[in-house]
Each structure stands twice: as C-alpha cells, then as structure tokens.
Amino acid sequence: MVHHGLKGVTCVETVISHIDGEKGKLIYRGYDAEQLALTSTFEETAFLILNGTFPKKEELKTFQNMIAPCQLPETVELLLRNLPDRLDDMAVLRTVISSFGEKTYTSRPTLEEAVRLIAAAPTIIAFRKRLLDGLEPIQPLADLGFVENYFYMLKNKRPTLAQKKALETYMILVMEHGMNASTFSARVTASTESDLVSALTSALGTMKGPLHGGAPSAVTKMLEDIQEKQHAENYLRNKLEKGERLMGFGHRVYQTHDPRAKALRMKAQEIAGGDSEIDLALYVEDTAIRLLQEYKPERKLYTNVEFYAAAVMKALDFDASLFTPTFSASRMVGWCAHVLEQANNNMIFRPSAKYIGDFVSFS
C-alpha cells in the first residue's frame, strides 16, 4: 500500500508537541499553546519547547541573554550586503543560515548551537529588509527581548505594548506544530548525522514552498481584492462555485476551529481597535464559514492560523514579504527541538518507493 505524501504514517515518537485535530487543541510539552500565547513570553515558551520545562527565574535570565538577537558577525553582514536584490527573503534567510555551518557544528547538535541560530534569524531578516528599503540596518538593543528587538530592527522604533504582545502571540503560536513538512525535512537531514545548520537549511528550503509557508500573503491578497464588506459574499461565492480554495480556511489536521486562530483574532482586535481592515476580516470570516457550510456541508472548514496571522501582520504594518520569514524566525525553535530530539534517538529515514515504470528486455 502506498501512502502518498506519507499521510497517516507515524514515523517518530516525540514529547515536543501534540495536535488534537478533533478537539482543536495544540499542546507544547503538555501545556495548551493557546494559553501559553496569552500568558507567557516568547522566551519562556522557547525555553519550554527546547528544554521540556518552564524556566526558573535564574534560568530564564540566562536564556534571555542567550536568545536575544545580537549583532551578526562581520562576514555575515558582508554576505547580506552582497546578495543580489532578486533573491526573495526566504532564499536569503536560507543562504545566510547555511553560512553559519563552520566545522564547529558537528553531528551532535547542542542547545547552545540551537539558541545561537535562533537568535540570528530576526537580525538577518531585519538587516535584509532595511537594505532592500534603501535604509541602513539597525543593530539590536541590549534591553529589548526577542520579539521587541525584531520589531525595533525593522521599524527603528520600539513597539507599543499592544504591538509587542500581538507579535509575540503570533510567534508563540507558530513556534511548533508537530510533524509538518519543514520539521520532517529537518529531522530527515538530522537523521543522516548531518549538522544542525544543514537541518535548518533543509527546513527553510521546505518552508519556502507556497503550499507550506505562503498562505498569509494569499489571505492578504484576498482581503485586498474584496475591499469592502458588501463585496464579500459575491467574491467568496464566485470562488467556491469555481471550485477554488478560500485562503485562510481549512486545515489538514484541525477538524474544528484552529486554536491559534482564536488567540490571534483576539490580539488583532486589541491592536487595531475599530480598524476597518480588522472589521473587514471579521466579516469575511463569518461570511466564509457560512458559505463553506452551505457549499461543503460534509467538510469541517474553519478559520486557520494564516487568516488572522495576515490580519495581525497587516495591523503591525509588516509587508507581505515578511510573513513567511517571520513565521520561520519563530519556527526555528521547533525545528531545533526536533533536531535535538532526533539526535538523542536516531535512525536514518529510509522509506521505500513503489516502482511503476516499465521493464525493458534487451533480447
């Protein structure tokens, strides 16, 4: 029997996260991710995912210093300045992360290596964005945390409390999500006893694909196309009658509301207040769910994380080009946790393929 796309095939045992698609629950190391996003910091959640426990006060202080974005090595800055403008942001992030792969990274990945690479990601993304905008890159501030520094390096201003918490909520909610395509790529590479940098480069290459990392941008385009509430129903009906997918709705795993979308909806409303774009998103959500129940009553299709990720990112005035890199900067935590777990109980991945070609005789 062939399992196309390995759907339904269990290939590892993990203690990092669990997705309950029927109940709409996402669990990080035993804790409800939705609650973590609303009550914990990025650093606390990253420590939990990487170490398996919540940090004690002194552990958290040390970890905050380790994971805080820092100035990039001179050679990395030079590489960023010399990469051609035609490269998209994910290609840049993948290329620059791969440049960290010096000989000190071995087949036995360490937590210290992981944290160093996680800390580099937001600085790389912000450095590149400023260069493309014709601006000089900004170095991170020592008194700001991971999320605040990311915002600051992009915008040259500190985020408000509402902006910081909205971005932090999003980055916590996408930090880890089971055996998705990019995590699988990372673990496959790690299973060959390659190094952590190679595993993360594999994951970033996988995340670059539009079927995995590009959905928030498509949601933004949909909302821009609709423009006003009175256009929503006709636009959505037209899509459904053509058999096209409504971006931001439905998920391969969740059979009910995506728990990440619920938390992001709350933060989108908080950050934007009565903003017309958020009002439009709320209206489109209600209309789309009603129409999906009408057109596809046999399927359970609800808002997924990409829908309100787009709303939050737009409220923060983040360009669409930043959506997937921002997602990846956070998912680096999950990828690193999986690579560390793979290394502790490793077996190389070697699935089989069913040959369906011809057999040609030379006689």
The amino acid at residue 340 is: L
pLDDT value of position 253: 67
Query: With bands split at pLDDT 50, 70 and 90, how would you rate the model's confidence at 255?
Result: low
**Residue 251 annotated as catalytic:** yes
Instruction: Kindly give the interhelix angle for 146-155 and 161-173, rounded to the nearest 10 degrees.
Output: 120
Give the distance, in angstroms, between the CA of residue 189 and the centroid of all CA atoms in the same chain: 19
Q: What is the per-residue pLDDT across 31-49, written as a single tens digit (0 to 9) for each? A: 999 999 989 999 999 999 9
pLDDT value of position 359: 93
Superfamily of domain 17-210+321-344: Citrate Synthase, domain 1 (1.10.580.10)
In the chain, domain spans:
17-210+321-344, 215-315
What is the DSSP code (8-state) at residue 54?
Answer: P
pLDDT value of position 349: 94
On whether the CB atoms of residues 105 and 197 are closer than 8 A, the answer is: yes
In Å, how far are 67, 71, 88, 202, 316 from 125, measured between CA atoms?
16, 12, 11, 18, 16
Q: What percent of the chain has pLDDT over 70?
A: 96
Beta bridge partners of 19: 26
Which residues contact residue 74 at a Cβ distance below 8 angstroms, ignoring those fewer than 6 apart?
A: none
Given the residues 43, 113, 176, 306, select the one marked as catalytic: 306
Query: With bands split at pLDDT 50, 70 and 90, how would you rate the model's confidence at 251?
Result: low
CATH architecture of the domain with residue range 215-315: Orthogonal Bundle (1.10)
- The DSSP code sequence of 79-105 is HHHHS-TTS-HHHHHHHHHHTT--TT-
On whether the CB atoms of residues 217 and 324 are closer than 8 A, the answer is: yes
pLDDT value of position 320: 86
pLDDT value of position 269: 76
Given the residues 251, 285, 338, 341, select the one marked as catalytic: 251
Rounded Cα gap, residues 343 and 180, in angstroms: 18
